[in-house]
A and B are shown apart, each in its own frame.
Chain A
């Protein structure tokens, strides 16, 4: 029985619960046991019991693991940061409420890089997450816990957030599917902010269908988030088996930092796409190569303001001092991690009088150019495909002393973040025994189209997940 539950896709489990063939409470207990037995460091908290989620909902009682930075009323929600250790929010994030209303109980809170700042989950204040494919390697980040839990089979599916690649890159490194929706498609209310103009909630799953099902209930305008929008078409469950007539624009395969093994697997997937009827052509995104630079100005700038509220005055940790300024400085020094402090410094500098135009202003101009690059590209192709990460999962500690090398993990994912457009990463093969991700990108609100293409490719690729025990 348990073997069977482990092999079921989440969407199939939901169908069986709704049909009355599977007990939602047994399903919850099964996954709770799996989460409790997690050995990857994916979980920071595991729920005791489901709430009153309706089994008849589209998510049919299948529990969902939630990245720590989603506020859940009364449940520890620290965004992976010591400064919020023990903080229990007085309210619940809209994304989590929507999942629960659709029938998915919260299974647990997953580990992440502190305030989503990182590409390896080594920046968590509560210890690193290990890649289920190789415990010596990172799962990617920042949503490393949500990705590793699904890959390791300690969660049927999960949600994370993507600011510059924080869903797609860990999905790639863990060999699962991860979707970053269009900016504004999912409410950010209750998502502990990193960079407000980039942060976006999205799902992880073992199949494209699972991810599409979660996404379909996540999207929609929320009166509590002024930047959220109604999804014009909604998200349909994918059904495509062919790619006839689909024009794929390929970007980034000639880049220097791209591992040959990764390039090879991506090329193989492109060959399969052609067999399914797609055409492929290389395209230029002239400014996308500058995305990393722009991203690492804009995101820290916004973060420097978003993290100002952690001042020891109202909630969270405080280091006592006699004078106000000392209290601020000691609290923020003692309880923020090194990478968070680094980005606050970078962002504060970039916004400072006399530097604003040179840094923040220039970065915003680059951002506009990248938006225009994609707009031009989508006049000639239907979708853009790229590697998700230039490398497979790297070793723990390998890049922690070299922030720039770490930042380059986001080379293929930051352009879409800056452009606010949807992108999904699917596993497309192994290199050195580790998963490689293929990124499929579409124009704003084209989630259904990229998921359909991903679905057709998924079948052709036939990727087998990490061997589960």
Chain B
């Protein structure tokens, strides 16, 4: 009988982030996505003879902010290297990157340690005409140099992640953090945020790492999770069959769910890194560091913690409010209006408001934070039943307005206690069978009586309150 061993995945992530700067990394071309091909170019980013790179100070500032957001150490000097390779997306025949002296080292985001943060330039974009979609066998390949020289920051984590889901969750935290900082568009579809994963597995409880493979360029968190899951399963199957994991670079096809090898260890490039002689080292001054530090907003991880700690918001809701900064902003603005309890408001924002607006920004709707606070306050006070309040929220989102006026004009206010008591009495009288069953211990029968009350009250009553009144009257 084969022994089936339990394996533990060990995952590290490499993230490429395009910085949101005015100009490119080493020239003064505009840095913008979506322009007509080859309109944002100059002799420098086309690598004309004799041109020289000049480091973009704004890019250094944003990269320092990223390093500081992770609490990294920033060495006194970091230097650029040339990473040599021939390909049409590399106009100089080398990429200017950082190698053994990166901008920032040893940080942390959430539970994950950050190994390093370094700066580099993006490559041009290749488009291959033909069925293969790859350069090999293409009828024609064209190059768009608009992207060449776009400032990039590469973030490398330590192999601290232990599951595909955890990796995706880390990705979302990172995206929310960078978005909050305003340093990047972090748009995975447009490629301003790109993720690679290094995956290995080892027998549970062992300390040594297994052979890792690299999953390239997953363009959504869902694909990242599915790709890692598929790779873990593939590696487990190999080890269960007493095989060996090959060190290789893999591509995950989200349509077929399959993994294909891009290159093996033997085919690995020798990039012949050497210090870039056209640039001087980056030596951040205390002023530069202070400027980067003071430009940092409150980051999602801190904000979630604050919501949980200071407002008593449950952890999951706090994280959602922090990851989607616009929801957190709505909550804080509504709290400032002083109309409702923080927990109740947070509950409404993360459930009802989020369900109503989907992925859009509440700032783009007619919903005023003070109106939301007033509405939630009315629900808490029992002035409007919850179900009716959801309809009012719909009106606030679509049209805006004062929730009190909406409730009054549409007759949605909770029925008064005398009125409600009369309705309850009539319902008990009119449902004698059900009342008999309740008294006999069939608790479910109460539904018929509640239903009768709710019908007559036309939704202006709270179901829980109605149940309480019925039980009180029939003494069950």
Contacts and interface: CB of A to CB of B under 8 A. Distances in A.
A227 B276 CA distance: 11
A193 B201 CA distance: 47
Contacts of A266: none
Interface string A266-289: 000000000000000000000000
A308 B48 contact: no
A380 interface: no
A226 B50 contact: no
B272 A196 contact: no
B54 A352 contact: no
B144 to A, nearest CB: 13
A190 B50 contact: yes
Given A79-B49, A314-B47, A309 B274 contact: no
B49 A360 contact: no
A192 B49 contact: yes
Contact of B50 (A193, A328, A351): A193
Interface string A242-255: 00000000000000
B55 interface: yes
A393 interface: no
B398 to A, nearest CB: 53
Contact of A309 (B54, B93, B136, B277): B93
Contacts of B443: none
A131 interface: no
Contact of A224 (B54, B272, B274): B54
Contacts of B274: 301-302, 305, 351, 356, 360
B50 A71 contact: yes
Interface string B152-173: 0000000000000000000000
B270 A225 contact: no
Contact of A353 (B135, B270, B277): B270
Contacts of A69: 50
B91 interface: yes
Contact of B48 (A79, A89, A188, A197): A89
B52 A188 contact: yes
Given A348-B272, A351-B274, A324 B50 contact: no
B52 A226 contact: yes
A71 B49 contact: yes
A225 B52 contact: yes
Nearest to B270: A353
A304 B271 CA distance: 12
A32 B24 CA distance: 42
Interface in B296-339: none
The DSSP consensus for interface residues of chain B is loop
Residue among B92, B278, B280 with the highest chain A CB neighbour number at 10 A: B278
A193 B136 CA distance: 32
Given A90-B48, A223-B54, A324-B88, A308 B93 contact: yes
Interface in A290-307: 301-302, 304-305, 307
B316 to A, nearest CB: 48
B50 A196 contact: no
Contacts of A71: 48-50
A313 B94 contact: no
A189 interface: yes
Contact of A227 (B86, B88, B92, B278): B278
B46 A314 contact: yes
B442 interface: no
A162 to B, nearest CB: 16
Interface string B80-108: 00101010100111100000000000000
A91 B273 CA distance: 29
A124 B71 CA distance: 55
B438 interface: no
Interface in B95-127: none
Residue among A71, A84, A89, A311 with the highest chain B CB neighbour number at 10 A: A311
Nearest to A197: B277
A233 B54 CA distance: 25
A305 B82 contact: yes
Interface in A148-191: 188-191
Contacts of B279: 226-227
Nearest to B92: A309
A328 B84 CA distance: 15
A223 B28 CA distance: 12
Contacts of B84: 304-305, 308, 351
A308 B92 contact: yes
B143 interface: yes
B257 interface: no
A115 to B, nearest CB: 9
B141 to A, nearest CB: 8
Contact of A324 (B47, B92, B135, B278): B135
A391 interface: no
Contacts of A30: none
A189 B50 contact: yes
A45 interface: no
A451 interface: no
B260 interface: no
A352 B48 contact: no
A356 B93 CA distance: 19
Nearest to A187: B52
Interface in B255-303: 270, 272-274, 277-280
B150 to A, nearest CB: 18
B49 A87 contact: yes
A309 B43 CA distance: 12
A77 interface: yes
B431 interface: no
A102 interface: no
Contact of B86 (A226, A302, A311): A311
B55 A226 contact: yes
A77 B52 contact: no
Nearest to A91: B43
A302 B50 CA distance: 14
Contact of A305 (B54, B88, B94, B143): B94
B254 interface: no
B280 A192 contact: no
Interface string A209-237: 00000000000000111110000000000
Contacts of B51: 91, 189-190
Residue among A87, A301, A324 with the highest chain B CB neighbour number at 10 A: A324
A93 interface: yes
Given A91-B48, A314-B91, A226 B43 contact: no
B43 A189 contact: no
Interface in A87-108: 87, 89-91, 93
Nearest to B47: A309
A191 B52 CA distance: 9
Contact of B52 (A189, A197, A304, A351): A189
B182 interface: no
A226 B278 contact: yes
A190 B44 CA distance: 10
Contacts of B88: 311, 313, 324
Given A89-B43, A91-B43, A353-B272, A224 B48 contact: no
A328 B49 CA distance: 17
Contacts of A191: 50
A195 B52 CA distance: 13
Contacts of B46: 314
B99 to A, nearest CB: 11
Q: Which 4 A-B pairs have the closest CB atoms?
A: A308-B93, A351-B272, A196-B277, A197-B277
Given A70-B50, A224-B52, 14 more contacts: A71-B49, A77-B50, A90-B43, A91-B51, A190-B51, A225-B52, A301-B274, A304-B272, A311-B93, A323-B136, A351-B84, A353-B270, A353-B272, A356-B272
Interface of A: 69-71, 77, 79, 84, 87, 89-91, 93, 188-193, 195-197, 223-227, 301-302, 304-305, 307-309, 311, 313-315, 323-324, 328, 348, 351-353, 356, 360
14 contacts: A71-B49, A79-B49, A89-B43, A89-B50, A192-B49, A223-B54, A224-B54, A226-B54, A304-B84, A305-B92, A311-B86, A315-B48, A351-B272, A352-B270
